[in-house]
């Protein structure tokens, strides 16, 4: 079978030689890269002047290739704090029907921190059951030690996860050699590469960019999710990966930086607002693939309107509050049964419920119905 050459076009701001490689579009064989002469988007027509690296041809049919919109699935709970299985399956069904490309299970929005190992595995099993093979499930398995994370990883794969994502151990900070050993152990445990999860605002020590590049080159990582919303860091990561000749699918997690992520080379978004407006985010991803940056920005501005409506007066945006607000709105929309969050999270007051219903629900309705009008 013959392989077709691909020219990876670099944005005008990229420095250094671009990469040329081959990719077997039928079998999905791994590409082989080599240096070539410089070709930047400044040499192309204006329409293509901002085409990011993310949207070069890829093998997106494989469930093992990260791309697109992967909502970090909220965790519906019963009033007594148990997993609401029916609501979770119903919510996942809605997300898949909306066209998302995957599901991010047991993330921060999924309140993984409130679950024991059995609960985490149950969430993955329910997500995989509801997805029914239509989209892959990426399960976060991070914990405070390698042994605990390995256990979660094996249980997630057994429950139906196509990939596992890994936060560095939290609570105690570790050096880079220790963190690299951690990720190598996880990859060995699941007999394949894992997804690095970058969340420095909650983790004492995270993988450095040099460590990420090394682990990619060694076949330990198959993707990365950056939830820092630090686009300077994300830009540097993209540049180092290109310069090292180690392509890696990267996702952004911050809901307010999806557009910037696509411009800098992200292959998708793990935005928590995808729980509320999955169709909207799918349209934004498709616009980025087509290089329609005016539409990408316009859709991001709509996302910002929604984000601003999600924090009641006098409250500060935080993961616990965000989860409670999402659940309440999903309950009002009839997608889950109740808005309970894991203790000790305070439930929304009546005033807060009324505020988000008044301000957020109309925005969600407009955003999700926009595609119906062309």
Do both 28 and 158 map to the same domain? no
Output the pLDDT for position 315. 86
Report which DSSP code applies to 39.
-
Catalytic-residue membership of 225: yes
Do both 30 and 160 map to the same domain? no
Task: With a cut of 70, list the residues of the chain below it in pLDDT.
Answer: 1-64, 371-374
Catalytic hit among 180, 183, 225, 355: 225
Three-state secondary-structure class, residue 197: strand
Catalytic-residue membership of 197: yes
Output the pLDDT for position 160. 97
Residue 354 inside a domain? The answer is no
Integer angstrom CA distances of residue 362 from 206, 211, 254, 255: 39, 45, 22, 19
CA torsion sign, 306 to 307 to 308 to 314?
Answer: positive
How many CB atoms neighbour CB 35 within 10 A? 11
Residue 110 inside a domain? The answer is yes
In contact, 253 and 226? CB cutoff 8 Å: yes
Domain boundary among 253, 277, 292: 292
Do both 173 and 83 map to the same domain? yes
Residue 240 inside a domain? The answer is yes
Residue 200 inside a domain? The answer is yes
Output the pLDDT for position 60. 42
Do both 12 and 147 map to the same domain? no
Phi, psi of 191 (to 5 degrees): 60, 45
Do both 148 and 220 map to the same domain? yes
What sections of 98-230 are H helices per DSSP?
117-131, 146-159, 176-190, 209-217
**Model pTM score:** 0.83
In contact, 124 and 137? CB cutoff 8 Å: yes
Residue 226 inside a domain? The answer is yes
Do both 14 and 97 map to the same domain? no
Do both 27 and 81 map to the same domain? no
Do both 116 and 202 map to the same domain? yes
Catalytic hit among 13, 129, 170, 197: 197
Residue 55 inside a domain? The answer is no
Domain boundary among 263, 292, 321: 292
Among 306, 325, 245, residue whose Cα is nearest residue 33: 245
Output the pLDDT for position 346. 87
Domain boundary among 271, 292, 313: 292
Query: What residues make up the domain containing 79?
Result: 68-292
Output the pLDDT for position 371. 65
Output the pLDDT for position 50. 35
In contact, 204 and 179? CB cutoff 8 Å: no
């Amino acid at each position: 079978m013959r392989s077709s050459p691909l020219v990876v076009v670099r944005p005008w701001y990229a420095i250094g030689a671009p990469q040329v490689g081959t990719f077997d579009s039928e079998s999905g064989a791994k590409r082989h890269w080599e240096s070539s002469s410089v070709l930047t988007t400044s040499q192309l027509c204006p329409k293509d002047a901002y085409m990011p690296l993310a949207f070069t041809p890829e093998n997106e049919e494989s469930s093992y290739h990260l791309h697109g919109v992967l909502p970090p699935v909220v965790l519906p709970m019963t009033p007594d704090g148990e997993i609401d299985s029916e609501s979770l399956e119903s919510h996942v069904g809605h997300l898949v029907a909306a066209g998302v490309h995957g599901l991010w299970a047991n993330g921060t929005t999924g309140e993984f921190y409130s679950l024991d190992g059995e609960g985490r595995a149950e969430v993955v099993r329910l997500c995989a059951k509801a997805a029914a093979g239509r989209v892959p499930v990426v399960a976060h398995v991070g914990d405070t030690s390698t042994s605990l994370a390995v256990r979660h990883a094996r249980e997630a794969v057994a429950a139906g996860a196509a990939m596992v994502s890994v936060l560095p151990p939290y609570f105690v900070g570790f050096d880079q050699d220790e963190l690299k050993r951690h990720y190598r152990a996880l990859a060995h445990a699941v007999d394949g590469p894992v997804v690095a999860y970058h969340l420095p605002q909650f983790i004492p020590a995270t993988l450095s960019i040099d460590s990420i590049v090394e682990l990619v080159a060694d076949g330990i990582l198959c993707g990365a999710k950056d939830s820092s919303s630090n686009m300077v860091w994300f830009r540097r990561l993209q540049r180092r990966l290109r310069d090292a000749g180690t392509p890696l699918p990267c996702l952004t997690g911050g809901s307010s930086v999806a557009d910037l992520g696509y411009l800098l080379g992200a292959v998708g978004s793990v935005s928590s607002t995808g729980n509320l407006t999955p169709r909207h985010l799918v349209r934004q991803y498709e616009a980025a693939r087509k290089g329609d940056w005016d539409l990408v920005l316009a859709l991001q501005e709509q996302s910002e309107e929604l984000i601003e409506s999600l924090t009641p007066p006098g409250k500060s945006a935080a993961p616990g509050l965000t989860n409670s607000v999402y659940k309440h709105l999903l309950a009002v929309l009839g997608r889950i049964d109740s808005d309970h969050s894991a203790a000790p999270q305070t439930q929304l007051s009546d005033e807060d419920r009324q505020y988000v219903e008044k301000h957020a629900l109309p925005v969600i309705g407009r955003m999700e119905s926009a595609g119906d009008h062309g």
